[in-house]
């Protein structure tokens, strides 16, 4: 009994479950974590998964490590619904690791354009070259961990999903489920270690150990479709009987998060410069750093102060009759961007960069923020005043 109480405290469980001398040992066992053979047994979850699991394009039996790896990289910071069309297009363009390894970085960046977090694409390409050179993916977490762009989470996910290694990668879905099943009330990010320990315990049941890949997919699916962030459907959950947060009525509150700091604002001005042939001036960002290697409309640096028009025009690619055509807002990881776009047409473009037919912009490796700017420019081109999609 004392050791069960200590386990509760380590996991920072709900206060009502601490110091509860009147609570029976069996109740304490449930709330100190899912017992290996208790109400949150992996067998219940796997039975649910066999009936209700999602059909996703990267899931296949036997698993293809290339597809698993590609999907995991794409899914970082991006939703399943947003990834699927990119994933399918990417696979058509690069059907296997050898095709990807042989391609140029600019081809990969162009296929990735729109998915954001472009360092992922550069690492993807570097990783493909390394894996193709060694004849395949390593089948263990330690071997995967040293490859470009593969951190602890992704290594565990690939090992489990592609090679049936018994590991529980903790993404947002798994984090939420573990915090709720164990009623971990401490706020993130402090609670991260306790939640990771709890997630590992979930994977220790014999059923989970027998089907590691399916168990992880089942956790992902439970989090995505039942144990959802704001309105968990506990009545449909295979683990409702053993879930501490459900019993306490606090499921929707967990996991708790420390208040977010506001992202700072950055300002910039970009220039939509066209010639009479309908070509627009682009330039390439430096290969490393934020949005490295991507194409963009020429513009000012992004800074914390707004740009007086005269100061911005001093950085225009050419002298011209610039006119404002609108502003866009766009969130990047560490700041919010507020960009003004100026447009001009000149008889002949003589400036650093390269020209692209406005109709061909969709094929360029333009990050989402630049696509928003270009939509403003296209609207001016068509003189319709309404936005044109790229
Ligand atoms: S019972 Fe509710 S809170 Fe608990 S794991 Fe299931 S859906 Fe999530």
Q: What is the pLDDT of residues 11-33, one digit of tens each?
A: 455 544 443 333 232 333 334 44
Say if residue 301 is exposed, middle or buried (CB neighbours under 10 Å; 0-12, 13-18, 19+): exposed
Query: Greater confidence, 34 or 293?
Result: 293
What's residue 14's pLDDT? Answer: 53
- Atom 2 of ligand 1, nearest CA residue: 234
Question: Beta partners for 2?
Answer: none
Q: Which residues does 269 contact at the CB level (< 8 Å), separation at least 6?
A: 299, 300, 307, 312, 315, 339, 340, 341, 342
The residue whose CB lies within 8 Å of the most ligand 1 atoms, and thus the one to mutate among 239, 241, 249, 254, is 239
pLDDT tens column, 248-305: 999 999 999 988 788 899 999 999 999 999 999 999 998 878 888 889 999 999 999 9
Mean pLDDT, the chain, rounded, equals: 87
151 alpha carbon – ligand 1 mean position (Å): 28
Asked whether residue 127 carries a pLDDT value surpassing 50, the answer given is yes
Q: How many whole angstroms separate alpha carbon 32 and alpha carbon 322?
A: 66
387: left (phi over 0), alpha (psi -120 to 50) or beta: beta
Q: What are the pocket residues of ligand 1 if the criterion is a CB atom closer than 6 Å to any ligand atom?
A: 177, 180-181, 226-227, 232, 234, 237, 239-240, 243, 245-246, 251
249 alpha carbon – ligand 1 mean position (Å): 10
Is the pTM of the predicted complex or chain greater than 0.75? Answer: no
CA 209, chain centre distance (Å):
27
Q: How many whole angstroms separate alpha carbon 239 and alpha carbon 319?
A: 66
Q: Backbone phi, then psi, for 188, in 5-degree steps?
A: -70, 150
pLDDT tens column, 358-375: 988 888 888 889 999 999
175 alpha carbon – ligand 1 mean position (Å): 12
User: What is the set of domains in the chain, with CATH numbers?
Assistant: 2-54+168-253 (1.10.1670.10), 65-163 (1.10.340.30), 265-382 (3.90.79.10)
């Amino acid at each position: 009994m004392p050791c069960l109480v200590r386990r509760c405290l380590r996991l920072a469980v709900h206060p009502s479950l601490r110091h509860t001398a009147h609570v029976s040992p069996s109740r304490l066992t449930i709330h100190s974590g899912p017992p290996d053979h208790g109400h949150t047994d992996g067998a219940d979850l796997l039975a649910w998964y066999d009936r209700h699991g999602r059909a996703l394009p990267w899931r296949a039996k036997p698993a293809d490590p290339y597809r698993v790896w590609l999907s995991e990289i794409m899914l970082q910071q991006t939703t399943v619904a947003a990834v699927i069309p990119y994933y399918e297009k990417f696979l058509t363009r690069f059907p296997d690791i050898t095709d990807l390894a042989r391609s140029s970085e600019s081809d990969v960046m162009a296929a990735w354009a729109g998915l954001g977090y472009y360092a992922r694409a550069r690492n993807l390409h570097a990783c493909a070259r390394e894996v193709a050179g060694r004849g395949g993916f390593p089948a263990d977490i330690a071997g995967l961990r040293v490859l470009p762009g593969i951190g602890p989470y992704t290594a565990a996910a690939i090992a489990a999903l592609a090679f049936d290694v018994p590991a529980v990668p903790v993404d947002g879905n798994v984090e939420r489920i573990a915090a709720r099943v164990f009623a971990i009330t401490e706020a993130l990010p402090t609670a991260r270690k306790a939640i990771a320990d709890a997630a590992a315990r979930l994977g220790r049941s014999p059923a989970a150990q027998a089907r590691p890949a399916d168990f992880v997919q089942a956790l992902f699916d439970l989090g995505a479709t039942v144990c959802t962030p704001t309105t968990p459907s506990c009545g449909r959950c295979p683990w409702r009987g053993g879930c501490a947060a459900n019993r306490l009525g606090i499921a929707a509150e967990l996991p708790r998060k420390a208040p977010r700091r506001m992202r700072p604002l950055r300002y910039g001005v970009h220039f939509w410069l066209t010639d009479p042939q309908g070509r627009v001036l682009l330039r390439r960002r430096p290969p490393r750093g934020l949005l490295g290697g991507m194409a963009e409309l020429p513009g000012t640096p992004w800074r914390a102060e707004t740009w007086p028009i005269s100061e911005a025009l001093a950085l225009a690619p050419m002298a011209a009759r610039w006119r404002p055509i609108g502003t866009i807002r766009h969130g990047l990881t560490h700041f919010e961007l507020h960009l003004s776009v100026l447009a001009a047409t000149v008889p002949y473009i003589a400036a650093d960069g390269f020209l692209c037919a406005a109709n061909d912009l969709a094929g360029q490796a333009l990050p989402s923020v630049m696509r928003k700017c270009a939509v403003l420019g296209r609207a001016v081109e068509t003189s319709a005043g309404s936005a044109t999609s790229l």
